[in-house]
A and B are shown apart, each in its own frame.
Chain A
Amino acid sequence: MRFALPSPGTGFAAWGRKATATLAGAALIAACATSCSKGISSTDVASPSPSGQDISSLATTVATSDGTWATVAMGQLSQPLNTFWQLLFRPTGATSWTDQVKATAVATNGGLVLASSQGKSLIVGVRPTNLLTFSPLIDTFDGGHTWTNGLLPYGLGAYPSALAAGPSGRSLALTDAPTSAAGQSVLDSEHLSSWQTLVSRRDLAASGAGQACSVAALTAVAFEGKVPAIGARCVHSGVVGLLAPSHGSWRLVGPALPESLRAGSVSVMALEPTSEGLSCLLTVTGPFGSRVLAAWSGDSGQTWRLSQPIRLSASEAVRSIGSVGTSGLFVLLADSSGPARAEVVSGQAAPWTALPTPPIGTETLAFGPGTTVEALAVSAAVLTVWSLGPNSSGWHKGQVMQVPIDYGSSS
């Protein structure tokens, strides 16, 4: 077998031209490859969609005539389907808490919203999670001995004041946008069934009052007497988005902010009925940073008194809010390293009082008879109750409860 050899070299000049051309071609290929891998992929790679609302601020306590109820998240808090919200109860006069979450008979990964009608009953709304898109409701008038249930045909919003119980069994519910056909809405019902839409965010935003606020989201509902009140987050600076029905439309009924805060946008975090009207917690965010302040209405909403604002540092966020006594409020603030501080205001004209730094893992506070304060701290499936006695400057460890979390049961 003879093999033909290639013809002799074609000369350096020709070789040089060929080399230049091929190097240019190679550079072009590499540049295209880089564009393909960087340019296209940087824009076209599907990224996971952001998670839903932050539900961590749902932790709270509600006092009723039978005792104090609380809800906290427990389990593996970094995994939504292994986080289970508990329903805790300390009967009046008792010193320990029990877990009543079994009564909900539904997976509580989405969070629980608590409401009370003038302290006589407790309503628990279970937020949707995973494949459940509506919210079961249960209520009790006897401290959890018996329960009845109701049904909200849409998903309850992730706000501490998303549920309100009014006189004569009337209720208000603030629904989530994704699961409600009309978008975020406030629904009205008698006895937790047969819900009707009171107003949608879209319709509220289109009203005169809504436009004055430029409603970004609805954030709270309550009854002031028999009249529904809706809290909102406003885009327009200096406007408190608290709205009430008026002559077939809506009007702004919130307080006027002090001059120093009018450059900020306001969000109504919580609404609580009082004997004189409403109490509300507001956050104001502006060039000055973030502030939290309380406001109380009187004279059927004609007058308002505001607390001094609490300044939040850049790393602080509201962890839990709730009521204290008949008109007081508390705020638990946390940063990335854990609970930072707890502030309490006992009522109108009272200053904010800072409590001793809450223990690590504190999710919410419970205020008992007298001046007893308890911090409910969570570490995975263990609940620890710390108490702060009168005139005490420190927290004392009390009850420790191991909650049997069924990890993996929701997936």
Chain B
Amino acid sequence: MGSGLSTNDPTIVAAFHRALFHQGFVIFLLLTLVAIAWSFLRSIQLRRAVLSESGASEKGTVTGGVTGAVAPEPVARRLIRISFGLIWIFDGILQGQASMPLGMIPQAVQPTAAASPTWVQHLVNSGSTVWTYHPVSMAAAAVWIQVGIGLWLLAAPRGNWSRLGGVASVAWGLAVWVFGESFGGIFAPGLSWLFGAPGAVLFYCMAGVLIALPERSWLQARLGRLILAVMGLFFVGMAVLQAWPGRGFWQGQAGRAENAGTLTSMLQQMAQTPQPHLASSLVSSFSSFDASHGWVVNLFAVIALGAVGAAFLTGRPGVVRIGVAAGIVLCLADWILVEDLGFFGGVGTDPNSMIPMALVFAAGYLALVRIPAPSTEVVRMHVADAAARVPWRERLSADPAYAFRSIAALSAIGILLVGAAPMAFAAANPNADPILTEAIDGPPTTTDMPAPAFDLVDQNGRQVTLAGLRGKAIALTFLDPVCTSDCPVIAQEFRAASKLLGSESGHVALVAIDANPRYISRDFLAAFDQQEGLEHVANWEYLTGSLPTLENVWRSFAVEVAYENGGAMIDHSDVVYVIDPDGHTREVLDADPGPATQATGSSFAQTLANGIKSALHSR
């Protein structure tokens, strides 16, 4: 087999950038339409405002009252909404890194899943499979979905549109938490607050829940106390976990030859991640410090986590304020020294958990101490609204703020859908994209030349000639019956391609010609067919002949076959010829299976099926 795809494969990266550009263009058109619609709405609103100068309708007073006397958004809510809106956008931009399509799964998702129980691995694998089958569309989708959510939170500050944005944040966050973070690694060993337990995106979900709450929830201290109680319990729980013996956190590294403790080992790995020198030197220094003083570092972590948690649990503003300040310092320190800022290495998807966590408990503090006082005007606003029940069309044309929120939210939803729709189509398509094959083998070579004739016998002793296959499209390749790597893979790809052709497979011949000069008897073809489960595939022909005859066929198809030294298998070209029913070669494909994964096999089968269909209909 050939080498695997590098995460920065130029074909995939180019296709990824093309997809982002095309989708970006669609978004540009969308925003242009939105701008036009907004301009149209504004003109209606201005005309109405002019008409209503002389006398206001009852509804206009109410809406005018709403406009004039609406209380500002609670500070805590605004902090959560704007900060997480920006973080989602930042995460979306990170998803646009060149190595995301091919690197996301093996470098970001699978390592976390690998340490988790089998059932988690199976669940994560179901999502990973979709990504590996459609790396370009999935990676592009992730960009726009996250950018869309972020813009939604920013653009829709109040009302149902804003709350819906919170719901979208929760939904996508949960999907990422399960399929991307393997439930935040909570089922894997080594769970620790220091490493980001219980998963960064869970705090995004918390923020989404808070944003989705009715605004009246923010008008009392109870919400703030609840947020702080939850975070307090979490911090104290993490302190207990950190203190738990036997998990390797109490040890550093006694000597170079000794096993490193859990934290020291993680820091040593993090220092190797490609990143700016300053960041890696900080992490390296801390790693050395922890190696020498592991016990002290862990003791500090336990006490700090416990103290911060206890401060939150008191619910007393003065104490909580100290806890928040200490918590922010602790989070920042961990973010820099342990989590290594989270987004380096080429497949960093987010700034990790410390920033979102700090924002949540800071918002809890603000929700505790900075509550908007209820005013009689606001009360009248609510009563008036309830009584009026202004239709949304009327509000659109009469209330500029509402109109802007609605249009902005719809634009953000549009951006989100630009990502979500391709993702949904990809998830529904069980066949991998041909782009994977193109990355490994290059695009097929199209041609229109008479195919070389051959006269051989198949695995059952029947004579098979090119002329005898006239009227059928032919996929023809060269397989070594005792090959240990490529040829079994190519045979399975042929079989998969035939299945993709459905009813048309009856008009297709799958032909393999023996490519091993030592093992040319039909026994070997039959053994290979049995090994690959091909003995009952109706349109499969495995052909052989005398050695001189085979050598002629190899030559005429420009296939090189050579003995190798040192115990290696026979070296032969991996190539597929697609021949039309008139006997003309229409495509020549490089059949190197590359890493021979399920995704690459499916991709090649799709590419081959496309070529065969094209040859079938070329008459």
Contacts and interface: CB of A to CB of B under 8 A. Distances in A.
B489 to A, nearest CB: 7
A41 B233 contact: no
Given A44-B117, A45-B117, A102-B565, A9 B186 contact: no
Interface stretch (B312-320, B390-398, B425-433): B312-320
Interface string B172-197: 00000000000000111111000001
Given A25-B233, A41-B189, A131 B568 contact: no
A134 interface: yes
A36 B569 contact: no
A193 B567 contact: no
B565 A40 contact: no
B221 A4 contact: yes
Interface in A364-411: 381, 403-406, 409-411
Interface residues of A, number: 70
Nearest to A27: B240
Nearest to A108: B567
B523 A36 contact: no
Given A36-B191, A41-B189, A46-B121, A149 B518 contact: yes
A217 B187 CA distance: 40
A29 B233 CA distance: 8
Contact of A410 (B72, B374, B484, B489): B484
Contacts of B521: 149, 151
Contact of B240 (A26, A40, A405): A26
Contacts of B484: 106-107, 109, 128-132, 410
B568 A136 contact: no
B567 A86 contact: yes
B289 interface: no
Given A26-B236, A84-B566, A40 B530 contact: no
Interface string A105-130: 11111000000000000000010111
B470 interface: no
A25 B229 CA distance: 11
A75 to B, nearest CB: 8
B456 interface: no
A113 to B, nearest CB: 14
Interface string A27-38: 111110110111
A4 B530 CA distance: 80
Given A22-B229, A33-B241, A38-B189, A107 B370 contact: no
A34 B241 contact: yes
A228 B507 CA distance: 51
A381 B66 CA distance: 85
Contacts of A109: 484, 567
A377 B571 CA distance: 28
B234 interface: yes
A404 B115 contact: no
A147 B563 CA distance: 14
B565 A30 contact: no
Interface string B214-247: 0000000100110001001111111111001001
Interface residues of B, number: 70
A37 B188 contact: yes
Contact of A405 (B315, B371, B567): B567
Contacts of B368: 6
Contacts of B489: 131
Contacts of B240: 26-27, 29-31
Given A6-B369, A41-B116, A26 B233 contact: yes
B342 interface: no
A316 interface: no
B593 to A, nearest CB: 11
A162 B543 CA distance: 32
A26 B233 CA distance: 5
Contacts of A260: none
B522 to A, nearest CB: 10
Contact of B563 (A7, A41, A105, A126): A105
B482 interface: yes
Nearest to B366: A3
Contact of B566 (A23, A86, A151): A86
Given A34-B241, A105-B518, A410 B317 contact: no
Contact of B191 (A33, A106, A404): A33
A26 B236 CA distance: 6
B174 to A, nearest CB: 18
A42 interface: yes
* Those 6 A-B pairs whose CB atoms lie nearest each other, nearest first: A44-B117, A84-B567, A26-B236, A30-B240, A105-B518, A29-B237
10 contacts: A29-B237, A41-B117, A44-B119, A105-B517, A106-B516, A109-B484, A132-B531, A136-B482, A136-B524, A153-B527
Interface of B: 1, 72, 115-119, 121, 186-191, 197, 221, 224-225, 229, 232-241, 244, 247, 309-310, 313-317, 368-374, 482-485, 488-489, 516-519, 521, 523-524, 527, 530-531, 563-571
Given A19-B313, A36-B187, 15 more contacts: A2-B373, A4-B374, A6-B369, A22-B232, A26-B233, A26-B236, A30-B238, A36-B191, A37-B186, A105-B518, A106-B482, A132-B483, A193-B523, A409-B568, A410-B569
